[in-house]
Amino acid sequence: MNSLSVPERESIDDIRRKIINKEIDILSLTEEHLKLAESTNEKINSFITILKEEATKQAKELQKVLEQNPNKANSMRLFGVPFTVKDLYLVKSTRTTFASKLMEDFISPYTATVVQKCLDEGAILIGKTNCDPWGFGASGENSGFGPTRHPLDFNKTPGGSSSGSAASLLSGVGYFSLGTDTGGSVRLPASFCGLFGYKPTYGRNSRYGVEAMGSSFDTPGFFARYIDDIVLLEEIMQGKDLNDATTSETKDLKINRKPIIGVPREFFVDGIDPQVDKVIKEKMQEIKQKGFEIVDVSIPSTKYALPVYYVLVPSEISSNRARYDGVRFGKKVSNDYSENLVKSRSIYLEPEVKRRIMIGTFALSAGYSDQYYNQASRVRTKLKKEFDAVFQKVDLLVSPVSPTTAFDLGEKSKDPVQMYLVDIYTVTANLVGIPAISFPIGKNNYGMPIGMQIMAPKWADMVMLNFVKSIL
């Protein structure tokens, strides 16, 4: 079996302290991570662009700060810490492809808010990671730049769409990675790779400078190796942004009791891999033994979540794609406007991207929108109400992240419906805008990681993260 050896890494705060105390040299650390990015990339295709020059320059600048103004260095919460971002985030003056051939040569005019926040805290950007094009997929296999391989078994997917973020972090590059989560693209790869993957409450982290997939679903989330890293990163990332009207001041919901944990019946139906089921049940037993009350709850409309997601998200996808017409953005292949419009996208868009645009255009078209888009929107509202009702009774919800562990490359890519079914447990949180996290709880007999999902009411992100911390 082809695999990479996975190095042990310290937490973000530990590495930062070593840098500040000059036990580790910033430039050497950056070079180590750049080299590892290059060597692992050859095997697992986790990067689209490695920012060697930029990262080295940044490291040298930070080195100066440490020499000349150690107090300033000490106040920066990610000082000298290498990180990576999914290639759906704009980073000024760097190539940003959205993992689609149509945008292969696009250079970002500005930097996404959440990336800027990390840079302002002194984090060093090592590279832009591979993913499904525009975020469309669950295995990374739709990428215009080829699939990413799982570091623990090259025949498997690391999960998608943020495939390169999870795979590069697992292979030892950087201390955290930004992904995006529209229907599970952070949580699924986190589960497949044994990492922590967090999706914030919708509107908590700015989407400014992040490629728009389904604007009412998209959340900038991230991966880390430790829960404390997730908490630290969210403290940095959160907050109102004047450039994203859907953000608001963070209002951290508090609860004054030991959280009551709900087990939504509809999330534990047939079709879960027996080993995944066993590890989850064992973990639930452990949670109970820690003195948490666990109660059975029902969210009946959960059964419609996947079809509703796959009507609404493609609808938003198709309207968001209008700007990539080969004139404003995208590749120009003809001087004739109409010809260019058709050809540019016909040649350069990946098959899954075309499929989503077609589904969405159909669902929104006159004569069909009542049956599809409007009906699905109504079910989305119903689902929100059911979640509100359940959160009157319990504080958090527990579920699997995925019915299986990492599957083989090629296993589902020929059948889009099989691939869509992978998202069955993750899309619901995006439909209702609530926070959710995937965290590692064990492995199957084959050594593949298994994750568990916790969901919380809107703005109870910190309650959820603290709960996870208490049950590790």
Binding interface with ligand GLN (CB under 6 A): 135-138, 161, 180-185, 213, 313, 423
- Closest separation between CB of residue 339 and ligand GLN, Å? 31
Question: Residue 158: which of 282, 45, 66, 323 has the closest Cα?
Answer: 45
Instruction: List, in order, residues 6 or more apart from 393 with CB less than 8 Å away.
Output: 260, 262, 295, 297
Q: Which residue has the tokens 């979640």?
A: 387
The distance from CA 11 to its chain's CA centroid, rounded to whole angstroms, is 20
- Kindly name the residue from 163, 177, 185, 399 that is annotated as catalytic: 185
Cβ-proximal residues to 191 (8 Å cutoff; 6+ apart), any chain: 159, 197, 401, 402, 438, 440, 449, 450, 451, 453
Nearer to ligand GLN, 82 or 400 (CB): 400
Give the separation between CA 136 and CA 368, rounded to whole angstroms. Answer: 23
Helix axes 227-237, 113-120, angle to 10 degrees: 110
C-beta closer to ligand GLN: residue 79 or 223: 223
- Cβ count near 410 (within 10 Å): 12
- Which of 46, 139, 161, 206 is catalytic? The answer is 161
* Least Å from the CB of residue 190 to ligand GLN: 12
- The yes-or-no answer on residue 185 being catalytic is yes
Residue with smaller CB distance to ligand GLN, 58 or 185:
185
Let me know if 92 is a catalytic residue.
no
Minimum separation from the CB atom of position 24 to ligand GLN (A): 35
Identity at 334, one-letter amino acid code: S
The residue among 40 and 402 lying less far from ligand GLN, judged by its C-beta, is 402
CB of 317 to ligand GLN, least distance (A): 8
Instruction: Between 135 and 433, name the residue whose CB sits nearer to ligand GLN.
Output: 135
CB atoms within 10 A of CB 347: 12
Q: Which is nearer to ligand GLN, 76 or 186 (CB)?
A: 186
Closest by CA to 133, choosing from 391, 321, 311, 265, is: 321
Residue nearer to ligand GLN on the CB measure, 340 or 413: 413
Per the annotation, the verdict on 216 as an active-site residue is no
CB 259, CB 417: distance < 8 Å: no
Cα–Cα dist 165/155, whole Å: 18
Beta-carbon contacts of residue 406 (< 8 Å; ≥ 6 apart): 150, 152, 153, 156, 157, 158, 159, 192, 193, 448, 449
Element holding 31 (H helix, E strand): helix 26-44
Q: How far is the CB of 467 from ligand GLN (least distance, A)?
A: 23
Nearest approach in angstroms of CB 203 to ligand GLN is 17
Active-site annotation holder among 46, 86, 100, 399: 86
Name residues whose C-beta falls within 8 Å of residue 166's C-beta, 6 or more positions apart in sequence.
158, 159, 177, 179, 189, 190, 192, 193, 195, 197, 223
Distance of closest approach, residue 155 Cβ to ligand GLN, in angstroms: 21
Kindly give, in sequence order, each residue whose CB lies less than 8 Å from that of residue 151, ignoring residues fewer than 6 positions away: 3, 4, 6, 40, 44, 158, 167, 170, 171, 193
What are the catalytic residues?
Answer: 86, 161, 185
